[in-house]
Amino acid sequence: MRVLLTGSTGFIGRAVAQALRQRGHTVVPAMRRPSPGRVDFVQADFASVPSRDWWLPRLEGIDAVVNAVGILREQRGQTFEALHHRAPAELFHACDAAAVRSVVQVSALGADEHGRTGYQRSKKAADDVLRSLPLRAAIVQPSLVYGPGGDSAALFNKLAVAPLLPFPMGGRMPVQPVHLDDVVQGVVRLVESPPEEVATYVFAGPRPLALAGYLRELRLAMGENPRQWVIPIPAFLFRAGATLAGVLPGSMLDRDTADMLLAGNATQRNGLPALLGRAPRAPADFIAGPVRESARREATLDLWLPVLRLALAFLWIWTAIVSFGLYPVRDSYALLARVGLHGTPATLALYGAALLDLVLGLLTLAAPARWRRGVWLAQLALVAGYTVLITLFLPEYWLHPYGPIAKNLPILALIALLWSLEPPAREGRH
């Protein structure tokens, strides 16, 4: 079969494409920006809402269509209304006109009359359009999907390794996570054996769990101690925190995702076991033994690196504030005199260094990704320079019981870690 696949570069779409090819099908991806050298594709941008007439000639020779386009948050040029509703609706009408053999729409659990968020309502709007057409089609509504490379998996792994979590209702919200492999297998089966008329299939894990219980399963799967402190907090505080997180680029948490999490994500009409002929994979088996330790380390880094950056930024900014006058200026000049600086040079050194510390602290918090390696290198050079100068001119500080200079060594190691984890600049960009 020739299968047109939209959302082919997304989390679920990539896995569906691989599975279809392994089954011997030809996948024709619909892509905004196709990779160089690719010949069998359709260049389509859902944000511009291609019309059904535009799709018709591009559906010639297509046996099945899988729509896996989805965004969790709106951003510039990408709206729920366009990507989730209007563009898929035009594609589904074109499938009807072109007599496509089967259609699979990847929707979401909660995309029903009770859906409260723009994400859920827009998915339901497209589902309803498909239900109105005389097609052999399936609407797949997955619960939380866990799989390698998924943003959701990364988020829940990170939450799982946290020693303490503030959650509304003490983390008792029901969830029913499903593994990516089971979702993909179900989609492929529906492509190959579509229902006689449009049908909805909920894809979920074997049983509902409290969110705290799900995280405990992931902790065990990563080899962590299952004990995790969950502190109940009011729902309004959780929503307020999610609203603030929504301002951060790349954050999965915002007001809408918080509302979906608070509403729960479980079902009593799981269609996956009957479709697969077996029980879906349980969360305890989501992380295979060979990758257990690497998953734990990656989650731990994801959790603590932002904390380390905040601590480092505080160190630079507090040092600047202290140098600007909280520490007696007279004593600062006395130290600079021992380095050989007096008068105007000493003043320039004192306030210039304080200003540099302040700038480095602010850049630690807010430097664009392309600047970060340079920021870390500047910090390494400055801390190393301070350490050398103090060693030469004020060596007794190495013997201070509070270790003000010895502490530079772990700080240098921390900055080196941050530098090494930044992706290197790509060469040969055009």
Give the per-residue pLDDT at 425.
65
Give the count of beta carbons closer than 10 Å to the beta carbon of residue 52. Answer: 17
Give the per-residue pLDDT at 429.
44
What residues contact 171, with CB distance under 8 A and at least 6 apart?
165, 210, 211, 212, 215, 230
Checking if the pLDDT of 254 tops 60, the result is yes
Checking if the pLDDT of 250 tops 80, the result is no
Using an 8 Å Cβ cutoff, are 140 and 109 in contact?
A: no
* Residue 116: half-sphere exposure toward Cβ, Cα within 13 Å: 10
Containing H/E element for 199?
strand 199-203
Which letter does DSSP use for residue 196 in this model? S
Q: Give the separation between CA 103 and CA 107, rounded to whole angstroms.
A: 12
Checking if the pLDDT of 105 tops 60, the result is yes
Model pLDDT for residues 361-379, shown as the tens digit of each residue? 999 999 998 999 999 999 9
What residues contact 18, with CB distance under 8 A and at least 6 apart?
none
Give the per-residue pLDDT at 426.
58
Predicted confidence band of residue 32 (pLDDT cuts 50, 70, 90): confident
Predicted confidence band of residue 262 (pLDDT cuts 50, 70, 90): confident
- Going from the C-alpha of 418 to that of each of 154, 189, 296, 307, the distances in angstroms are 19, 45, 19, 12
Q: Percent of the chain beyond pLDDT 90?
A: 77
What residues contact 419, with CB distance under 8 A and at least 6 apart?
373, 376, 377, 380
In 11-86, which ranges are continuous DSSP H helix? 11-22, 52-55, 80
Mean local confidence (pLDDT), 177-193: 97
Mean local confidence (pLDDT), 84-104: 96
Predicted confidence band of residue 77 (pLDDT cuts 50, 70, 90): confident
Give the count of beta carbons closer than 10 Å to the beta carbon of residue 79. Answer: 16
User: The whole model's pTM is what?
Assistant: 0.86
Q: Which amino acid is at 327?
A: Y
Q: Which two tokens stand for residue 316?
A: 């630079």
Give the per-residue pLDDT at 259.
85
Mean local confidence (pLDDT), 148-170: 90
Return the C-alpha torsion angle 251, 254, 257, 260, nearest 10: 160
Q: Mean of the per-residue pLDDT values for the chain?
A: 92
Checking if the pLDDT of 416 tops 50, the result is yes
Mean local confidence (pLDDT), 259-271: 88
Domains of the chain: 2-287 (3.40.50.720), 302-421 (no CATH)
Q: Is 307 helix (H, G, I), strand (E, B) or coil?
A: helix
Q: Which amino acid is at 204?
A: A
Give the per-residue pLDDT at 88.
97
Containing H/E element for 167?
strand 164-168
Predicted confidence band of residue 249 (pLDDT cuts 50, 70, 90): low
